[in-house]
A and B are shown apart, each in its own frame.
Chain A
Amino acid sequence: MSMVMAPRPADTQKRWELTRWPIVRTFLRQRALNWMATTAALFGFLLAIAAGLLGTAAGSANFGIVFVWIVWWGLFMGALLPLGGRLWCFICPIPAPGEWLQRKSLVGPPPSGEPARLLSIDSPRAPQSRDGLSEGWRWPKSLRGIWLQNVGFLGVALFSAVILTRPSVTGWVLLGFLAGGVGLAVLFERRSFCRYVCPVGGFIGLYSLVAPVELRVRDPLVCQDHRTKDCYLGNEAGYGCPWLEQPWTMDRNASCGLCGECLRTCTKDNVAVNIRLPGSDLLVAHGWKLDEAYKAFIMLACAAIYPVVFLGPWGRLKAWANLDSLSGFVIYTLGFLVLNLVAVPALHLGMAALTRWVSGLQDIPLRPLFVALAYALVPQGLAAWMAFTVSLVFANLSYALPVLSDPFGWGWNLLGTRDVAWHPWLTAWVQPAQAALLIAGLVASIVAADAILRKFQHGRAGVRGLAVQTVLLTAETALFLWLYLGASA
């Protein structure tokens, strides 16, 4: 645990504090908030699993498919993630039962009168979990970072043709997630699953760096003299940070699940929720890591592969992705992995080298520049994923109406909407929305690249490096535009 209080870097970031109003603080501190959100989500989640495992095999009539991969994905990628960052993690039901077991309570906190802290930060021993149903092991150091999450995401993405279309497969995958969440919670401390294993967590953390919402301490100097660090260890008002973050040094969103425990436990009332102009998180130098850079490459590559395979006119690619033949799937897998892990990173490595050469930064080693420039891809990658989501979701959202009346596809008609026919919605708006998103993402990425380069340039002049990055980013955006608005052959 770091004892050094890193001073907050000179920050010209514009922020508006939401929690400046007492009523907002009181509201966000309600413990029932978390329980209500996750329980409602858990209900939907269990319904999806039941529908997937027991309902009709026709995906378009199954709650498990329609409400997970169309409705939830649309809300998530269209609103929750770009506007709220890790806000989904606040609602997510997957870790909820495990966390209830860990805490032996649903709402918490522990009954008053019990020792609030087991140790203070002066103690040499690491903090243990409290008297809950968990072994509380620490996550092995070698498995930290998001590499596991990268692998998990690649696995899900590779098999997505099968997962997204077969209710039983979705059912088992979701059940597996739930079991994994509970299992890991019972063995490891706090939200180790969320932080180190969850495949969604990999990209939600990366993309939350550009979200307009953040949770930070108001004044780091106040924390400097605070010895008990209730935000990390917990007290009678709440639990220590489940995400194993240290709020007093937290300066990026990547691992903050917006659960609000620190808001409740801070004895100095020093924790705030802010609205901000996004972007500063991308520039936090100590956060520039290769695993996150690779996540950015993977997301970019998949954002291009998905429209080609799923929205394209090529039946053979779909057959390969659909596991119709083993040889076809092997070819598909090889291409998929090479693109994700070799080709796209290599392209960006080359362009980083070119940037370095053109802008006269040869004294800087290539690797840190390469890793840092990957973060400029975040706005563009998010825009590309939103563009894909717009196309997929609006075409199929009409399935939600009959599915609400007949979640299992057995002929029920709970709300009378069972016989609403499929019809793609708002098709005339899709392409303009995609173009607008992609162009906005491009502009934001160029601005980010500029800011990142200037951190390396230390006042040295020149836009030549930026010009190289701009060419790369513009070409990528043009490719996405062509995928959505141009002819495929």
Chain B
Amino acid sequence: MTFGNPLRLLFVRPQGRRLEYIARVSTVGLLLGLAAAFVAGALGRFGSAAQEIELIARQPAAGGWSRERIVVNQGERVRLRIRSEDVVHGFAIGRLGVEAGPIEPGKVTTVEFMADRAGEFTFYCTMWCDPNHARMRGVLEVRGSTQTSPERTQAASDVTLQHLDDPRDAGVVPQARPSAMRGLPLFEQRCAACHGARGHGTPRASAVGHREVQLDRSPADLFHMLGKTKEQQGSSEASGHGREASPALRELPAHAPFSQDWGDQQRWDVVASLWSVGTTAEQIDLGHRLYLKNCAACHGEQGAGNGPGGKYQPKTPADFTDARRMLAGSTALYTAKIRRGGMGTGMPYWGSIFTEEELAAVVDYVWGFSLGIAR
């Protein structure tokens, strides 16, 4: 084997072999061209238009988002180039109303938005992609002059917070799903005189919508209240059932005279109508969309707690159609649970992602599985 000077192969024109010379030059040119094109492309990948940030999505088992933190300045126009390396992902930034998806493997999705509010926002995956999908989150930090902490919302009452994870049992269940459609006429008949046509209240009696005074009262409480006799005033005994319904029942006034001729199912229907007047169709629709995107994978499309993601969680997801449990909880309780998350049960913490309006919408939609609140 003789080597000689390798450069001679290229630069010294082989005697009388013009074809060989052309071949050598063009082969080297071709290879250099390939390398140059690749380098140019690789550079182009990183140094494109101002403030273009590349974000790669992978299943959490393979690393999740390529960046856990994205920092931009307030007032900037941000351009995210998101692509997936394995399966279909989704992308959204909580409280900023930014959404993109599906992020398909091998394709680049570009998201553009104005970072006009300072603070910390959570970006997260919105399409179930992995047993740990709910952990696929990162932080978008918008640096600005006014550093505000994320909107904090209040829990309705301290009592509620302490008992967030207590077991719940309504004790009574309606025979059929309560229906606001059936309950509203009854309400108009019997209750509107004091409580106002839409339950908005009059000087004689308070407003009754579930978001007004009933925030920390459960449907079961109100069901018992409707049957509470004057003798039970001041007690938390549930009439006819001999069981303590809940401490909240203690404060509620007796309503037995007004509901004497109503059967149990009718009372439930009226309770459903109380929930119904506290929300709107648009709210429920928003809640539905949010539920499908964020909750259905574990809790199931029909709310039965049987979604495909549930089997990977430490605890089986809650069954929203289980009236016995659901009707014993209050709006404040469920709002707080969603906001706080599940403390190791697998239920994610949504407090940094949902706005108050979104939280309310989701809770109202979830009520629909146990209470027929649609009008």
A133 to B41, Cβ gap below 8 A? no
Which residues of chain A are near B107, meaning CB under 8 Å? 61, 402, 409, 411, 418-419
B contact residues around A106 at 8 Å (CB):
20, 23-24, 27
- Which B1-44 residues have C-beta < 8 A from chain A? 1-3, 9, 14-17, 19-20, 23-24, 26-27, 30-31, 34, 38, 41-42, 44
- Residues in A401-442 with C-beta less than 8 Å from chain B: 402, 406, 408-412, 418-419
Q: Do residues A111 and B30 form an inter-chain contact, with CB atoms below 8 A?
A: no
With both chains docked as a complex, state the minimum distance between the C-beta of B49 and any C-beta of chain A, in angstroms. Answer: 12
CA distance A111 to B9 in the complex (A): 14
A11 beta carbon closer than 8 Å to chain B? no
Across the two chains, which residue of chain B brings its CB closest to A133? B1
Indicate which residue in A54, A112, A131, A412 contacts B2 across the interface (CB closer than 8 Å).
A131
| Cβ contact within 8 Å between A107 and B19 | yes
Q: Which of A42-50, A149-157, A448-456 contacts B (4 or more CB under 8 A)?
A: A42-50
Minimum CB–CB distance from A426 to chain B (whole Å) comes to 23
A236 CB, min distance to chain B CBs, angstroms:
12
- Cβ < 8 Å to B, chain A residues 125-174: 131-135
User: Cβ of B106 < 8 Å from any Cβ of A?
Assistant: yes
Distance between B18 CB and nearest chain A CB, rounded to angstroms = 10
- The reply to whether the CB of A35 lies closer than 8 angstroms to some CB of chain B is yes
**Contact with B108, one of A39, A135, A410 (Cβ below 8 angstroms):** A410
Closest-CB distance, B60 to chain A (whole angstroms): 15
**A58 in contact (CB, < 8 A):** yes
- The smallest C-beta distance from B97 to any residue of chain A, in angstroms, reads 24
Please measure, in the bound complex, the distance between the C-alpha atom of A50 and the C-alpha atom of B37, giving whole angstroms.
12
A104 vs B17: C-alpha distance in the bound complex, in angstroms? Answer: 13
Contacts of A104 in B (CB 8 A): 9
- Shortest beta-carbon distance from A112 to chain B in Å: 7
Q: Give which listed residue, B27, B38, B106, contacts A39 with CB less than 8 A.
A: B27
Q: Are B27 and A133 in contact (CB under 8 A)?
A: no
* 8 pairs of A and B residues whose beta carbons are closest in the complex: A61-B106, A411-B108, A58-B105, A58-B106, A106-B23, A409-B106, A57-B85, A107-B23
Picked from B16, B20, B83, B106, the residue with its CB within 8 Å of the CB of A108 is: B20
Please indicate the chain B residues that have their CB under 8 angstroms from the CB of A43 in the complex.
30-31, 34
Asked if A105 lies at the interface with its beta carbon under 8 angstroms from chain B, I say yes
B204 located at the interface, meaning its Cβ lies under 8 Å from any Cβ of chain A in the complex: no
Q: Which residue of A lies closest to B81 (CB)?
A: A411
Q: Does B45 contact A (CB under 8 A)?
A: yes
Closest A residue to B38 using CB positions = A50
Q: Which of these, B15, B34, B42, B85, contacts A46 with CB under 8 Å?
A: B34
Chosen A-B contacts, 29 in total, with CB atoms closer than 8 Å, are: A31-B19, A35-B27, A50-B34, A50-B38, A54-B38, A56-B83, A57-B86, A58-B85, A58-B86, A60-B105, A61-B106, A106-B20, A106-B27, A107-B17, A107-B19, A107-B20, A108-B20, A111-B16, A111-B17, A112-B16, A131-B2, A133-B2, A134-B1, A135-B1, A402-B107, A410-B83, A411-B83, A411-B108, A418-B107
The answer to whether A285 has its CB under 8 Å from any CB of chain B is no
Kindly state whether residue B84 has any CB partner on chain A within 8 Å. yes
Residues of B within 8 A of A105 (CB): 14, 17, 20
Chain A nearest CB, measured from B308 CB (Å): 15
Whether A58 pairs with B84 at a CB distance below 8 angstroms is: yes
Give the docked Cα–Cα distance between A107 and B25 (Å): 12
How far does the alpha carbon of A408 sit from the alpha carbon of B24 in the complex, in Å?
A: 28
Interface assignment of A62: CB less than 8 Å from any CB of chain B? yes
- B106 near A60 (CB under 8 angstroms)? yes
Q: Give, as a whole number of angstroms, the nearest-CB distance from A189 to chain B.
A: 12
Residues in A neighbouring B26, C-beta threshold 8 A = 39
Cβ of A32 and Cβ of B19 under 8 Å apart?
yes
> Quick one: closest B residue to A112, CB to CB?
B16
Count of chain B residues near A, Cβ 8 A:
31
Residues on the A chain within 8 Å of B41, using CB: 408, 410, 412
Q: CA–CA, A58 to B84, complex, Å?
A: 8
**Please, which residues of chain A bring their CB within 8 A of the CB of B23?**
32, 35, 39, 106-107
In the complex, A408 Cα to B41 Cα: how many Å?
9
Whether A56 lies near B34 (C-beta < 8 A) is no
Cβ 8 A contact of A56, one of B27, B44, B106: B106
Number of A-B residue pairs, CB cutoff 8 Å, is 82
5 more A-B residue pairs beyond the given contacts A58-B84, A61-B107, A135-B1, with a C-beta to C-beta distance below 8 A: A39-B27, A57-B86, A61-B105, A133-B3, A411-B108
B100-125 near A? 1/0 per residue, CB < 8 Å: 00000111100000000000000000
- Within 8 Å CB of A135, what residues of B? 1
Cα–Cα distance between A35 and B28 once the two chains are bound (Å)? 13
Q: Which residue among A62, A131, A133, A186 has the maximum number of chain B CB atoms within 10 Å of its CB?
A: A133
A6 to B112, CA, bound (A): 77
With a cutoff of 8 Å between Cβ atoms, the chain B residues found around residue A411 in the complex are 45, 81, 83, 107-108
Taking CB atoms, residues of chain B closer than 8 Å to A111 are 14-17
* B87, chain A: closest CB distance, angstroms: 9
A152 CB to closest chain B CB (Å) equals 27
Measured CB to CB, the nearest residue on chain A to B105 is A58
Question: In whole Å, how far is B91's beta carbon from the nearest beta carbon of chain A?
Answer: 15
Q: Which residues of A contact B24 (CB under 8 A)?
A: 106
Most chain B C-beta atoms within 10 Å of own C-beta, residue among A35, A133, A411: A411
Q: B106 and A62: CB pair below 8 A?
A: yes
How far, in whole Å, are A406 and B41 apart by their CA atoms in the complex? 10
A279 to B14, CA, bound (A): 45
Residues of chain A contacted by B27 (CB below 8 angstroms): 35, 39, 106
Task: Give the chain B neighbours of A402 by CB distance below 8 A.
Answer: 106-107
C-alpha spacing A107/B42, complex, angstroms: 33
Contact partners of A112 in chain B: CB under 8 A:
16
Please name the residue on chain B nearest to A56 by beta carbon: B106
Q: How far is the CB of B89 from chain A (nearest CB, A)?
A: 12
- The digit string for B122-133, where 1 denotes a CB below 8 A from any CB of A, is 000000000000
Chain A residues contacting B34 (CB-CB under 8 Å) are 43, 46-47, 50
Chain A positions within 8 Å of B86 at CB level: 57-58
A132 to B15, CA, bound (A): 17
Chain A: CB-nearest residue to B45: A410
* Chain B residue at minimal CB-CB distance from A62: B106
B38-90, CB < 8 A from A: 38, 41-42, 44-45, 81, 83-86
Is the beta-carbon distance between B85 and A39 smaller than 8 angstroms? no
Closest partner residue, chain A, to B37 (CB atom): A47
User: In the complex, what's the smallest C-beta–C-beta distance from B17 to chain A, in angstroms?
Assistant: 6
Nearest-CB distance from B288 to chain A (Å)? 28
- A354 CA to B17 CA, complexed, in Å: 63
User: Min CB distance, B305 to chain A, in Å?
Assistant: 26
Q: In the bound complex, how far is the Cα of B105 from the Cα of A56, in angstroms?
A: 8
Give the distance in Å from the alpha carbon of A406 to the alpha carbon of B45 in the complex.
Answer: 12
Distance (whole angstroms) from the CB of A282 to the closest CB of chain B:
39
Of chain B, the residue at the smallest CB distance from A408 is: B41
Quick one: given A107-B23, A133-B3, A409-B83, are A39 and B105 in contact (CB under 8 Å)?
A: no
Q: Which residues of chain A have C-beta atoms less than 8 A from B38's C-beta?
A: 50, 54
A331: min CB distance to chain B, Å: 24
> Which of chain B's residues have a CB closer than 8 A to the CB of A409?
83, 106-107
